[in-house]
């Protein structure tokens, strides 16, 4: 039984393929067409999934689309009567989805009638919930999806049991936690699609001085529901359209906040204005109000279901600061957030919704790692690495695994910036040890060095640590697994000075817990770093520079060359920039490894 999930004509376009109940491959289109948050038809992602499963499009049994134009039709019609522009947008979307078979056939140069698959339309939030619950390790759980908007709702919650989910409540447009967060993100001067996580990082610098006002902007209501103060927004009166020119352009979202919000909170920050303490406090207040609503919804859901396990999905599930509070503020003891919790994850969710809810098949798969993307052979990686040898810019060595880990760990301990390219690409927006840039977490200056030399990010944004799962309790106040970097836990007070680079200003870190079973090579590297330095932790940031995370070996080499990365480890090859020794001096700001390389026991 072959099921293809396709998130199309929407930001974070993606594809996933499930064969006989097991996920075989999943990837976002942006990794392949190199356009951040790419929308449109994810033809390359579909092509990759089919190749990985060894099947042709004509052999697929079911195609699952996470969009149901007929969901909440009555509410849509009411809005359409009030807002003609909205009606036209809906018609355009419905036409687009009606032509998906023809678009697929055209992309793969086959006749439409050779696609014998049955097409299924899975409601957006049902697909989000399926993307978490059906691949979670839980037989039963409470399930919650929250995002900006999808199929005219922003929030759905359910009780999940085996291959079924029973919906317990929903919140429909125009009330939306995602819209709330995006509107305030815009108000704070961050207008790019996907900028919300920046404001989450900024919130740690402030105090919730404006919380009372924010409680008027969004407030909990009922057992697991909430309301927006609609005066503060314009999406309900003027639309909230996400637009993109074509599949090769990043989507753009129009303004969401109203003049009334500026009247109450002061003028919006312009994108080029400096950030002040007031902005920090606004961000802090926004985050605090979101958390109050989420805690209320989680508690309501816990009370209604009696469950101890919770599955979260939708863009709001990327709020790792809030997620961590499930464990401290509710009866839930276990939380599962799959790595592509946002709209990319819909392709996985739609496919598993067909497998279980439509075909009635039992569950037999758990997503316990994130490595579902493209993978290249040792020979391909070696060939690309070797192509750098004639350039005179890098020294290359080919090492066995033991020597490779020794050498990489030593480079990290000496303060060098290491590109680490191994195995299959990660599913979801986080680099989790296969397409990562690694650095020494013990050096307080490493955040500035990474920003100056490679990432060029806003200085207030934190970097994240990876840690062996065995050491989590020694460094963090929580030990619940965070394999996909979807939780931010407080670093133990006595360890904040030990790993200052990835510890945020509020003493938390958005950690990745690494198990031997999920990523054996990365786990061994962390152990090796621990042997060398006494600290089994590395700073782990995505392998990219203002672009989607690198996918192919050629992109890794290109990023290595055009940035001031010191070392590239690709497969079993190590490339060291010939100027790396000098750069390492510059990075450490001292005579490098001596002070830091000694075990800190
Ligand atoms: Fe969504």
413-463 pLDDT per residue, tens: 999 999 999 999 999 999 999 999 999 999 999 999 998 888 888 888 899
- Which single residue is written with the structure tokens 């600061």? 321
For residue 52, give both structure tokens.
């990985």
* CA 466 to centroid of ligand 1, rounded, Å: 28
Q: Is residue 191 classed as helix, strand or coil in its secondary structure?
A: coil
* pLDDT per position as a tens digit, 501-515: 999 999 999 999 999
Three-state DSSP at 155 gives: strand
Distance 405 CA to ligand 1 centre (A): 39
**Centroid of chain to Cα 108:** 29
Q: Which residue has the tokens 């002040």?
A: 276
How many whole angstroms from 150 Cα to the centroid of ligand 1?
Answer: 5
Distance, in Å, from the CA atom of 300 to the CA atom of 224, rounded to the nearest integer, reads 5
Residue 342 Cα to ligand 1 middle (Å): 6
* d(C-alpha 530, C-alpha 163), whole Å: 42
Comparing CA positions, the residue from 85, 93, 89, 84 lying closest to residue 121 is: 93
586 CA to middle of ligand 1, Å?
A: 44
226-228 vs 218-220, strand pairing mode: antiparallel
124 CB neighbour count, 10 Å cutoff: 28
Q: Which is nearest to 20 in space by CA: 350, 426, 359?
A: 359
From ligand 1's centre to the CA of 6, what distance in Å?
14
pLDDT of residue 600: 35
The SS3 of residue 515 is coil
Q: How far is the CA of 344 from the centre of ligand 1 (A)?
A: 8
E strand or H helix at 219, and its extent?
strand 218-220
The span from the CA of 408 to the CA of 567, in Å, is: 9
Q: Other CB atoms closer than 10 Å to residue 232's CB: what's the count? A: 25
Q: How far apart are CA 138 and CA 116, in angstroms?
A: 34
The Å distance, Cα 478 to ligand 1 centre, comes to 29
CA of 313 to the centre of ligand 1 (A): 8
Mean pLDDT (the chain) is 91
Q: Would you give the distance in Å from CA 382 to the centre of its chain?
A: 29
Residue 524, H or E segment? helix 520-533
Q: Read out DSSP for 243-304?
A: E-SSTTS--EE---B-HHHHHHH-SPPPTTSPP-HHHHHHHHHHHHHHHHHHHHHHHHHHHH
Calculate how far, in angstroms, residue 563's C-alpha sits from the geometric centre of ligand 1. Answer: 34
Q: Model-level pTM?
A: 0.93
How far, in Å, from the CA of 57 to the mean position of ligand 1? 26
Kindly state the helix (H) or strand (E) to which residue 29 belongs, with its residue range: helix 29-33
What are the structure tokens assigned to 582, written together? 């000098």
Cα 343 to ligand 1 centroid, rounded to whole Å: 5
Ligand 1 center–CA 314 separation, angstroms: 5
Please tell me the distance between residue 21's alpha carbon and the centre of ligand 1 in angstroms.
23
Task: Give 97 Cα–ligand 1 centroid separation in angstroms.
Answer: 16
Helix (H, G, I), strand (E, B) or coil at 230: helix
Q: How far is the CA of 315 from the centre of ligand 1 (A)?
A: 6
pLDDT at residue 467, rounded to an integer: 98
Strand partners, 157: 144, 169
Q: 520 C-alpha vs ligand 1 centroid, how far in Å?
A: 32
Strand order in the sheet with 62-65: 22-28, 14-19, 2-7, 62-65, 118-121
CA of 333 relative to ligand 1 center, distance in Å: 25
Instruction: Calculate how far, in angstroms, residue 11's C-alpha sits from the geometric centre of ligand 1.
Output: 9
- Pairwise CA distance, residues 127 & 353, whole Å: 7
Cβ distance 484 to 426 under 8 Å? no
In total, the chain counts a number of residues equal to 601
Please list, in sequence order, all residues whose beta carbon lies within 8 angstroms of the beta carbon of residue 371, skipping any fewer than 6 positions away: 423, 424, 425, 426, 427, 432, 434, 519
Ligand 1 centroid distance, CA of 126 (Å): 10
- Please, what are the averages of pLDDT over each run of 10 residues along the chain (601 residues)? 94 95 97 89 97 97 93 79 72 78 94 95 97 98 95 95 97 93 94 88 95 97 94 82 56 84 95 94 97 97 97 97 97 98 97 98 97 97 85 79 97 97 97 98 94 86 96 97 97 97 96 98 98 98 94 96 94 84 42 38 30
- Compute, in angstroms, the gap from residue 208 CA to the centroid of ligand 1: 28
* Pairing assessment for the beta strands 418-421 and 567-570 based on DSSP bridges: parallel
Q: How many CA atoms lie within 13 A of 328 on its CB side?
A: 13
Q: What is the DSSP secondary structure assignment for residue 542, as one 8-state letter?
A: E
Q: Are 65 and 16 in contact (CB under 8 A)?
A: no
Which helix (H) or strand (E) covers residue 584, if one does?
helix 580-588
d(CA 385, CA 403): 17
pLDDT of 108 reads 94
């Amino acid at each position: 039984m072959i099921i293809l999930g396709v998130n199309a004509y929407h930001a974070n376009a993606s594809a996933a393929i499930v064969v006989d109940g097991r996920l075989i491959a999943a990837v976002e289109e942006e990794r392949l067409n190199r356009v951040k948050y790419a929308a449109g038809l994810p033809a390359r992602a579909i092509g990759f999934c089919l190749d990985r499963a060894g099947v042709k499009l004509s052999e697929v049994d079911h195609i699952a689309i996470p969009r149901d134009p007929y969901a909440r039709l009555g509410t849509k019609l009411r809005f359409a009567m009030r807002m003609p522009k909205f009606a036209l947008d809906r018609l355009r979307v419905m036409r687009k989805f009606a032509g998906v078979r023809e678009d697929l056939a055209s992309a793969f140069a086959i006749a439409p009638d050779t696609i014998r698959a049955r097409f299924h339309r899975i409601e957006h939030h049902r697909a989000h919930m399926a993307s978490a619950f059906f691949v979670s390790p839980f037989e039963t759980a409470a399930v919650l999806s929250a995002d900006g908007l999808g199929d005219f709702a922003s929030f759905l919650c359910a009780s999940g049991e085996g291959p079924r989910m029973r919906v317990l409540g929903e919140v429909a447009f125009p009330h939306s936690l995602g819209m709330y967060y995006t509107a305030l993100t815009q108000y704070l001067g961050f207008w790019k699609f996907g900028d919300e996580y920046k404001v989450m990082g900024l919130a740690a610098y402030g105090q919730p001085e404006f919380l009372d006002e924010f409680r008027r902007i969004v407030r909990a209501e009922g057992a697991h529901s909430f309301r927006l103060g609609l005066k503060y927004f314009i999406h309900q009166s003027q639309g909230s359209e996400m637009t993109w020119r074509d599949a090769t352009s990043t989507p753009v979202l129009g303004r969401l906040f109203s003049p009334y919000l500026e009247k109450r909170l002061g003028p919006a920050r312009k994108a080029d204005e400096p950030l002040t303490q007031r902005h920090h406090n606004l961000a802090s207040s926004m985050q605090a109000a979101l958390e109050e609503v989420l805690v209320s919804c989680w508690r309501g859901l816990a009370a209604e279901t009696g469950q101890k396990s919770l599955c979260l999905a939708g863009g709001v599930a990327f709020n790792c600061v809030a997620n961590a509070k499930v464990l401290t503020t509710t009866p839930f003891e276990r939380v599962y957030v799959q790595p592509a919790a946002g709209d990319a994850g819909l392709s996985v969710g739609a496919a598993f919704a067909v497998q279980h809810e439509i075909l009635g098949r039992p569950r037999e798969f758990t997503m316990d790692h994130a490595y579902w993307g493209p993978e290249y052979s040792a020979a391909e990686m070696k060939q690309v690495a070797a192509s750098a040898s004639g350039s005179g810019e890098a020294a290359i060595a080919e090492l066995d695994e033991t020597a490779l880990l020794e050498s990489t760990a030593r480079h990290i301990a000496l303060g060098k910036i290491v590109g680490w390219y191994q195995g299959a690409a990660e599913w979801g927006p986080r680099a989790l040890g296969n397409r990562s840039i690694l650095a020494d977490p013990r050096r307080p200056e490493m955040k500035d060095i990474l920003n100056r030399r490679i990432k060029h990010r806003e200085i207030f944004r934190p970097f994240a640590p990876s840690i062996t799962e065995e050491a989590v309790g020694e460094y963090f106040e929580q030990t619940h697994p965070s394999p996909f970097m979807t939780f931010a836990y407080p670093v133990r007070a006595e360890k904040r000075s030990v790993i200052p680079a990835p510890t945020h200003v509020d003493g938390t870190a958005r950690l990745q817990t690494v198990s031997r079973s999920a990523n054996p090579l990365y786990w061994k590297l962390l152990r090796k770093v621990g042997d060398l330095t006494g600290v089994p932790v590395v700073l782990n940031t995505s392998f990219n520079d203002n672009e989607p995370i690198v996918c192919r070996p050629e992109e890794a080499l290109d990023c290595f060359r055009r940035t001031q990365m010191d070392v590239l480890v690709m497969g079993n090859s190590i490339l060291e920039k010939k100027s790396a020794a000098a750069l390492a001096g510059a990075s450490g700001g001292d005579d490098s490894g001596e002070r830091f390389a000694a075990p800190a026991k």
